[in-house]
Structure 1
Amino acid sequence: MRPWRALTWAGSASAVALTVHSLLNARGLRVPVLDPPPAPGRVSVLVPARDEEEDLPACLASLLDQVQVPDYEVVVVDDASSDRTAEVVGAVAASDARVRLVRGAGPPPGWLGKTAACDQAARHATGEVLVFVDADVVLAPHAVAAAVDLLRRTGLDVVCPYPRQLALTWSERLVQPLLQWSWLTTLPLRTAEVSPRPSLAAANGQFLVVDAATYRRAGGHAAVRGEVLDDLALLRAVKAAGGTGGVADGTALATCRMYGGWEDLRAGYAKSLWSAFGSAPAAVAVGAGLVVTYLVPPAAALTGSPVGVVGYLAGVVGRYAAAERTGGRSVPDAFWHPASVALLLGLLGDSWRGRRRGGLVWKGRSL
């Protein structure tokens, strides 16, 4: 039993330390102002869209409802959709000159669909600031102005105001909150903004704001053309070119429901989770750390270990604090944290199996 007790002590100590770190991060997380000044210069809002006819109307309506952005354009790239995406955008563009539809022909060799669509959008953009928005994101009226203000006020080159993630089904409620929880728990956010180290980076392409000159100096999406996690890769490219950036609190700026249930969620994580940690050995190391920190203590708690109870509760507190800070559902979901971690590990294994078998597909395209 000595190894088990040692693991319980180590896991519980790690859980406590990481929760303390997440609480400090939550206090230092950058928060955009709710009443921003007018955005200076021209702003280009860029939307890559493939088979998004259901989500686009709400997204476009929110983009055209922006305030404090006196000079802006909306460029939507239809990425060879098989549904009515182009027709939806075309109808809006016909009644509002700020909207332009670009018909994409699909990714060229060596490119992924989203990186190619983002590249096309950027090539048509005329703004001094580029705002990339996914088609399933709905912005608050002050969102673009607030994000541009945060970018300019902080002197950063990239800002990703993390949208409030909408999680409705059981699988979404278990997994989606881990997105914000992960970077709040593990990354020293202010240090990560200026560090050139690839491991110290967090980004979100759902709502990503970048200085246009810096974007082009870093090579734009052409520099990350084959990357599944293109948002993270783009931030790393910007940092490699001498820029800075990271995540911010976008809870009051945007909402996004990434996946509509278990099947969508599983396919979405399968396509990208394998690349999150850089290599298979790194993924194994991260997985082992999660097991020791967030699964061993609650298992020990079930056998009556007081140390295990402390470790379990530390994980719950960290999850609760992250949810409260980012507009998520805190109770009772925080108490399910071990189940969330276990499911994430299963999705990680599933993603690596798909990667090695060459069977990863997203929106009808092989990855």
Structure 2
Amino acid sequence: MIVRQRVVLRWAVNAGTALAAASLVLTASNARRIRTPDVDALPVAEPLSVLIPMRDEAANAPGCLRTVLAAIDRWPGPARVVVVDDESTDDTAEIVALVAANDSRLSLISGTPPPAGWLGKSWACHQAAHHVPGDGVLVFVDADVRVSPFAFTATVAALRAAGLAVLCPYPRQRADGPAERLIQPLLQWSWMSTLPLGIAERSSRPSLSAANGQFLAVDAETYHRAGGHASVADEVLEDIALLRAIKSVGGLGGVGAGAHLAQCRMYHGHREIRDGYRKSLWSAFGSSAGAVGVVTMLVLAYIIPAVAALTGSRIGLLGYAAGVASRAISASVTGGRAWPDALAHPLSIAGFAALTADSLQAHRRDRLRWKGRALAGTTPREREVRRG
């Protein structure tokens, strides 16, 4: 029995190290290939509509609007900003209205409650998109994002030059507290280390899709042809679902390097991280079985080799080093903090595993809520039943 256990453990360490090494190779390849918009590029003049859903964003609204309005000053064609106040209970609407009163480029829409079958953000984005022209480019921006003065010109120039329908320059993810520094870098590392970006950008396969709704530029005609946010009304991860819908009608796209174009602090502290990931991780991998499978692979690749390294395993040390290197490369490309944070990569994976388990349990018990709204009826089977 002891001999068999040792064989199994040795196999796990070897397999995990091989996975970590393969992931490192892919991360390094993506670092060389990732699309990076040029801040000096200027697109041709066409309509630009910047659409911002806001729900209880009084703290973020002034900073977001200030940077967005400054960025459209550089736009060579007609530009407008539309904010949808999604039934805020704070002073969001009043703050936006005050800014709009002094800038005719900004419009405020009072959002209506989401109809049956819609989640809040998709409904807010849908309302915003139907208040702007159907041509040109739509740029969706979250309220906690701060864009640079050349964010829109550089992004759209890259979008048009590459012939893409969607481009999401990934904002630099601000992570200021211990929990944020442990978990947030996994956002960009996840796709840097698992998705061949060059292939994914040109592939119509839904499985090869990575997007970020924090800052998402899309060709307006393709967006509407794909059904817009109505096609992803009940999707928790509506950004990735939107890219897949656009791929289904022939459009292509994906993520790019955007640390020089925008920054975002999604969550403040461990409570917001727990609540934020609880609402979405259950759906990130298609099913509960998919989530368990992904977490198992992550543990195999990044925790087991690290534990083995502590016992003197050279193979385990190699696997741990590969994970740390992959994380450091991802940070260098996406504007994150590489050192010493990358050294804690196994702890990050353990935290992610715990968050995934918490999300699956909350979903099973129908306890998913976000910004005061229940996220009910969001399993694939429930969506199929609703659609008849």
After TM superposition, the score normalised by the length of structure 2 is: 0.94
Which residue of the partner structure matches residue 192 of structure 2? Answer: 184
What is the match of residue 77 of structure 1? Answer: 84
| Large movers: runs of 4+ above 4 Å | none
The one-letter amino acid paired with 2:280 is S
Q: Secondary structure at 1:251's aligned position in 2? A: coil
Supply the distance in 2 between the matched residues of 1:352 and 1:199 (Cα, whole angstroms): 21
Distance 2:311 2:207 in 1: 37
Counterparts of 2:139 and 2:44 in 1: how far apart (Å)? 12
Candidates 254, 261, 275, aligned match of 1:267: 275
- AA of the residue aligned to 1:280: S
Q: Distance in 2 between matches of 1:340 and 1:31?
A: 27
C-alpha separation in 2, matches of 1:237 and 1:322: 28
Pairwise CA distance, 1:40: 2.1
Report how far residue 38 of structure 1 moved: 4.4
Deviation at 1:39, TM superposition (A): 4.6
User: What residue is the counterpart of 1:52 in the other structure?
Assistant: 57
Aligned-partner Cα distance in 2 for 1:193–1:124: 29
Which of 131, 150, 159 is the matching residue for 1:124?
Answer: 131
Measure how far apart 1:194 and its partner are: 2.0
Whole-angstrom distance in 2 between the partners of 1:250 and 1:92: 27
Q: Which residue of 1 aligns with 2:25?
A: 20
Q: How many residues align?
A: 367
- Identity across matched positions, percent: 55
Q: Tell me how far apart the structure 2 counterparts of residues 56 and 237 of structure 1 sit (CA, whole Å).
A: 30
Q: Which letter does structure 2 place at the counterpart of 1:121? A: A
Instruction: Give 1:1-367 correspondences, 5 Å limit.
Output: 1-66=6-71, 67-70=73-76, 71-126=78-133, 127-367=135-375
Deviation per CA, 1:281-325, whole angstroms, max 9, x where unpaired? 111111110011001100100111000000000000000111111
Cα distance in 1 between the residues matched to 2:107 and 2:287: 40
Give the superposition deviation at 1:203.
Answer: 0.2
Give how far 1:106 is off: 1.9
Cα distance in 1 for partners of 2:160, 2:198 equals: 16
Q: Is the 8 A contact 1:39 1:145 kept in 2?
A: no
Contact 1:39 1:148 in 2 (8 A): no
User: Cα RMSD between the aligned structures?
Assistant: 0.8
What SS does the aligned partner of 1:259 have?
Answer: coil
SS at match of 2:18: helix
- Cα distance in structure 1, aligned partners of 2:366 and 2:262: 35
Distance in 2 between the 1:17 and 1:99 partners? Answer: 48
Tell me the distance in 2 between the aligned counterparts of 1:37 and 1:147: 9
CA distance in 1, matches of 2:203, 2:141: 25
CA contact (8 A) 1:77 1:121 kept: yes
> How many Å separate the matches in 1 of 2:155 and 2:39?
10
Are the aligned partners of 1:39 and 1:68 in contact in 2 as well (CA < 8 Å)?
no
Deviations 1:26-67 (A, max 9, x none): 100000001121452110000000000100100000011014
CA positional deviation for 1:196 = 2.1
Is the Cα contact below 8 Å between 1:294 and 1:338 reproduced in 2?
A: yes
Unmatched 5+ residue regions in structure 2?
A: 1-5, 376-388
Question: 2:113 & 2:178 partners in 1: Cα distance?
Answer: 34
Q: Which residue is 2:383 aligned to?
A: none
CA distance in structure 1 between the partners assigned to 2:304 and 2:203 by the alignment: 33
- For structure 1, the residue ranges without an aligned partner over 5 or more in a row are none
